[in-house]
Amino acid sequence: MKRKYLNHKIGLLCAFAVLLILSSCEPSKVDPFDPVYDLGLVPATPGDLVDGSTTLPSYFTGTLPNAYTIPTAPVGDQKRQGSCIGFSAGYTVMSYYINRSNGGSYSNNFLGSPKFLYNLCKLSGCDGGSTYPRAMAILKTKGICSWSDMPYTDYECSQIPSAAQNSAALRYRIRSWSYLSISDIDKMKRLLYSGYPLMIGIRVYTNFYQYRTGVYNSLSGTDNGGHAVAIIGYDDARQAFRIQNSWGTAWGESGYMWVGYNFLAQQLTAEPRCYLVVPDF
């Protein structure tokens, strides 16, 4: 009886030890919050920019209003996947152009599928992230299908678009993509007012997760990596750009934030440039 009890005790201790070992091997989360706010930007190198252009589309050259915001799609949520490029470029920006060309109301038929874009442009694995130029290459050659055609999920990223999804995507391709210095605040504002949302890469520090309202103008805590977001407006009274994130509406100002003009260019940016696309539809 004593031997049986001893063996049972040893068995329990061994099982507990295995659980401890397995738990220590689990990958660390991207941030300490629940829900997890995932990232996914891989900064582009100069060699990645060969297919882009520094030539910009025509933009407004008159007197700018003091504030302007592009009417983009409702804030999306990438959840537990490093698909921020898919949301910044494929969802926020492409949905705006798709909606504009169709006169729609941002129904799922007029939302770009972040899953279509990210599954094709990701570097490796669901948390491998991607670069903007890789996403631009897909948008130029393949386009993007709608959310209805390929709904987003954050629990897989290996699904290759079907023939029908690829065919639907061809309707919404871009003609070209360009980039400019993120320090050129005046030109960025003019492009925004002319109807060109801008895509940027930023560094995410601890206090970025904790942002609730106001103008974000300082860094504190740990640098957790790169993140792709879109600039959709500006406000000279605040001296700040309006940012649309992809962490749902519980974060920030219902999914948006204000970032100081100079702070963005001098401290927050993960790349010295911002991107824009010219649609081919």
Counting Cβ atoms within 10 Å, is residue 187 exposed (0-12), middle (13-18) or buried (19+)? middle
Contact, 272 vs 181, CB < 8 A? yes
Confidence class for position 102, pLDDT limits 50, 70, 90: very high
pLDDT at 47 over 60: yes
Tell me if the bond preceding 35 is cis, omega within 30° of 0. yes
The verdict on residue 140 lying in a domain is yes
Using an 8 Å Cβ cutoff, are 201 and 249 in contact? no
Whether 51 has a pLDDT exceeding 70, the answer reads yes
Helix (H) or strand (E) holding 256: strand 256-260
Averaged pLDDT of the chain: 90
Residue 189 lies in a domain: yes
What phi and psi values does residue 234 have, to the nearest 5 degrees?
-150, 165
Residue 262 lies in a domain: yes
Q: Which residues contact 113 (CB under 8 A, 6 or more apart)?
A: 90, 91, 144, 145, 146, 147, 149, 150, 151, 152
Residue 22: inside a domain? no
Q: Pairing state of beta strands 198-205 and 174-181? A: unpaired
Is there a domain that residue 25 lies in?
no
| Dist. CA 209–CA 214, nearest whole Å | 14
Q: Give the pLDDT of residue 105.
A: 85
Q: Is the pLDDT of residue 3 over 60?
A: no
| CATH number, domain containing residue 62 | 3.90.70.10
Q: Which domain holds residue 130?
A: 36-279
Nearest to 128 by CA among 83, 88, 161, 91: 83
- Residue 147 forms part of a structural domain: yes
Establish if 182 belongs to a structural domain.
Answer: yes
pLDDT band at 10 (very low <50, low <70, confident <90, very high): very low
Burial of 55 (0-12, 13-18, 19+ CB in 10 A): exposed
What tens digit of pLDDT does each residue of 173-232 get? 999 999 999 999 999 999 999 999 999 999 999 999 999 999 999 999 999 999 999 999
Residues 45-69 have a mean pLDDT of 98
Number of domains in the chain: 1
**What pLDDT is stored for residue 122 in this prediction?**
97
Backbone angles phi, psi at 139, to 5 degrees: -65, -30
DSSP state of 63: P
Q: Is residue 27 part of a domain?
A: no
